[in-house]
Structures are given as structure tokens and as C-alpha cells.
Structure 1
Amino acid sequence: MENKMRKMAQAMIASLAVFVAALTLLAVPAAAQSVGDRINVGNLGAGDWIQSPNGAYRLSMQSDGNLVLYGPSGPLWATYTSGSNAHLANQNDGNLVIYRGDGSVAWASRSRASGGGTLIMQNDGNAVAYGASGPFWSTYTGGGVNKMAAAGAVAFARQQVGKPYRSGAIGPDAYDCSGLTLKSYASVGITLNRTSQDQYRQGSSVTQAALQPGDLVFYNGSSPTHVGIYVGNNEIINALNSNTGVRYDSLTYPGSITGYRHYA
């Protein structure tokens, strides 16, 4: 009996050791690493990052699916995305795309450059994609400028693409033009007035040359009747009418531009 009990105990200990070893293997992810200060056409894997040569700034493809640019004092810019096993693809068409593990798209820069380009984390805190003709995409964080609020407003607007237009609507199922911009900024704690005319009176005026993602673009006269949120690459997201719903449009599509306003 004593011998039998001893064998049973040894078997239980062996099984427990196998179980613990299995748990240990599951708990240890692939080692995250810096891949230098740039990536050419190719991928930045989950947990990996590019870092400025001076070590002050890091663009990290986090394991939670969020692409975040960190400076000495914390995050400066993010895609506000999520998803397991996500990676950033620097594609040969110039589009930067975050793909989730299931292959779905979590985010895209919608930039274009023939032959692709090189994404560089610079010493000035700006992450910039350079192609044969020069820079074609940026986080606009040069000098360590915090763009989290503007990036968050753009991220919210992106999530509304495809929803219907309805006059007077402020979401979550439908929007009019100023309802979309109002809610985009409300998502990051910034309060805008309700109408496009009143939103135009807020913020600070910027030129088209200085336009950055998150800025609002106003249309159709000194008392503008339409507004969209600029997302880069000469595109806006806007809720124009019941035929279009919420969608991407070129900067000049909705009509004559009245002006541009900056809020964050």
C-alpha cells in the first residue's frame, strides 16, 4: 500500500510540473524589441518599436493593438486602436496600415507614395514617412507637441464612417455635419458649439499650408453651412447629406472653402 501511494504521489507531482511548465510557456510573449529608428517597406510587429537616435521618442506598436508615440513626458500621439496580434504594415503603396491578427484593418493612414517609403522616428519627436519625392505622412509631433486630443477626435470620426446623415443628429447612429465634429471633439473632452456657424467662431484660424489632422474645414460663405474634420492627405471626414452619409471626401469636394480652424 505504501509503495502504491508513493507512486501515485510521484505521478501527481510529475503532472503538476508539466501543467506549470505549460502555463509558463503561455505566459511568456515573444520578446519585444527596438528595430532601430526606422522601418522600410515591411512590418512593425506587436510589442516592437522604433526609437529616435537620441532615445527621447518611441513609436510603439503595442500588444493591445494601439500604435502610440511616446516622448519624455508620456504619450504624444496615438491611433486609438485595439486588437490582438496586430502589426503595422509599411506598404509599398505608401499606405501605413494596422492589421489585426484576423487580417481586418484597424487603422490606415490613407497616404500614397509610389514604391512606398521609410518611416523614421526623428530626434525632434516627429514620426515621418519619406518617399522618393520627400515626406508624405507625419504625426505632426515635431518639437514634442502633444497631438493626442486631435488624434483622438480623428479616430472617433473614422469610427463613424458609413453611418447615415440625418439633419439635427448628433449620434450615435446618425449625424449631421456639425453633430459629427461636435461629438468627435467631445470624445476627447473638448466642447464645441452646436452649429457649423458657431463652431467657426471657435478655435484659432490656420492657413491651408498649416492644416493638420483634427483641424476643421468650413464651407459655403462667411456664415458656413458645412464643416468636416481634416484627416490628412487632402481628405476630410464629413456628413454632407442623406445621399453620402458619413464618409471620406477630398478637401474641396463639399464646396467653396471658407476657412480652417484649430482646436487642439
Structure 2
Amino acid sequence: MTKEEFIRKVNGLPWADRACSFEAVDCWGLVVLYYRHVLSVEVHQTTDYEAGKNFITCYEGDRVFWHPGARKDGHIGVFYRGGAPDHVGIVIDGNQMLHSKGDGGSVRIDPLPVLERAFTRTEFLQYGNV
């Protein structure tokens, strides 16, 4: 599936906590689907995530598989509130973010600077050698 096909398929999907399907996704589920269907990569997921454990615990368990990256297509942006990671999305076209906005939201594309202003800080990560 191309990046464009994926975006058309997921844009507007409803947000649902711990969801990872073409019916509903949360922000991490969207990353997993993108890597699976666009990049043909199965990213590591702790069983804690699927079991509904605290997001911070899940993030710390999976973070070791990600390395510092750049504001580059296919890399993820991790958005922090204070010192804690709070949201993730996929960089597309260099300065936009495909992400699933929670609490009644949906998958959408927003300019990265808009999201960066809404959070304390942002880091960009790449998965393994991808």
C-alpha cells in the first residue's frame, strides 16, 4: 500500500483507545498500521499496551526499539506534556503530521508547528534502520 493510499484509507477514522484496525485507531495504533501496511515492518509492541496498561509504561517498553530521527517522512513525532510522552504521529511531507486525535477525535493531518505549539516538546524517532 502506498503512503497516499494509506492516508486516504485512514483519514477520518474514529479514535478509540487501544484500537489498531481500519475501523478505529488510537495514535499508537495508527503508527503500527502505517509501518505494517506502508513500510511492511512489524514494530515491536509490548503486551502491556494491548492489556490497557499505563501509556508511559508501554512507551518505555517499546522506546528501546526506536532511535533518534529527524523531521522526515515515515519517522514518528513524540509529543510531550511536561516530561512525559503524551501523543505520537507520523511525519508526512516533511512538515505535516498524520495522527489520531483522542477523546472523540479522529485521524487527521495537521501542520507540525501547530501540534508542536500544543505540547511541551517534540522528539522525532525512527524505527530500527527504517
So what's the TM-score if we normalise by structure 2?
Answer: 0.70
What letter is aligned with 1:183? L
> Structure 1's 224 and 201: CA in aligned 2 closer, same or farther, altered over 3 A?
farther
1:255 to 2:115 alignment: no
Q: Which structure 2 residues correspond to residues 43-192 of structure 1 after superposition, within 5 A? A: 80=2, 107=4, 156-187=6-37, 188-192=40-44
**C-alpha RMSD of matched pairs (Å):** 2.5
Distance 1:180 1:166, change over 3 A: same
**Computing the radius of gyration over CA atoms, which structure comes out larger, 1 or 2?**
1
Which residue matches 1:68?
none
Deviation at 1:163, TM superposition (A): 0.6
Q: Which has the higher contact order (CA 8 A, sep 6+)?
A: 2
**Structure 1: gaps of 5 or more residues:** 1-78, 82-106, 108-154
1:200-250 CA-to-partner distances (Å, cap 9, x unmatched) read 4322102xxx42100000011444121000002411000011443000012
CA-CA distance at 1:158 after TM superposition: 4.6
For the 8 Å contact 2:71–2:95, the answer to whether it is kept is no
1:213 aligns with 2:73: yes
CA distance in 2, matches of 1:203, 1:244: 26
Q: Distance in 1 between matches of 2:15 and 2:86?
A: 15
1:219-234 alignment to 2 at 5 Å? 219-220=79-80, 221-234=82-95
The answer as to whether partners of 2:73 and 2:94 remain within 8 angstroms in 1 is no
Give the counterpart of 1:202 among 65, 68, 87.
65
Identity %: 23
Greater helix share, structure number: 2
Residue 89 of structure 2 corresponds to residue 237 of structure 1: no
Quickly say closer, same or farther: Cα 1:199–1:246, change in 2 above 3 A.
farther
Checking the alignment, whether the CA contact within 8 Å between 1:164 and 1:246 is kept in structure 2 is: yes
2:52 maps to none
Deviation at 1:183, TM superposition (A): 1.6
Which string of whole-angstrom CA distances, capped at 9 and with x for unpartnered residues, describes residues 113-145 of structure 1?
xxxxxxxxxxxxxxxxxxxxxxxxxxxxxxxxx
Paired residues, number: 111
> Aligned partners of 2:104 and 2:83: how far apart in 1?
25
C-alpha distance after superposition, 1:150-202 (max 9, x if no partner): xxxxx534521111001111112000110110121122133232556244432
Contact 1:200–1:224 (CA under 8 A) maintained in structure 2: no
Structure 2 residue identity aligned to 1:212: K
CA 1:233–1:179 in 2, change beyond 3 Å: closer, same or farther?
same
- Where 1:262 maps in the other structure, the secondary structure is strand
In structure 2, stretches of 5+ residues that fail to align are 50-54
Equivalence map 1:15-54=2 (5 Å): none
SS in structure 1 of the partner of residue 43 of structure 2: coil
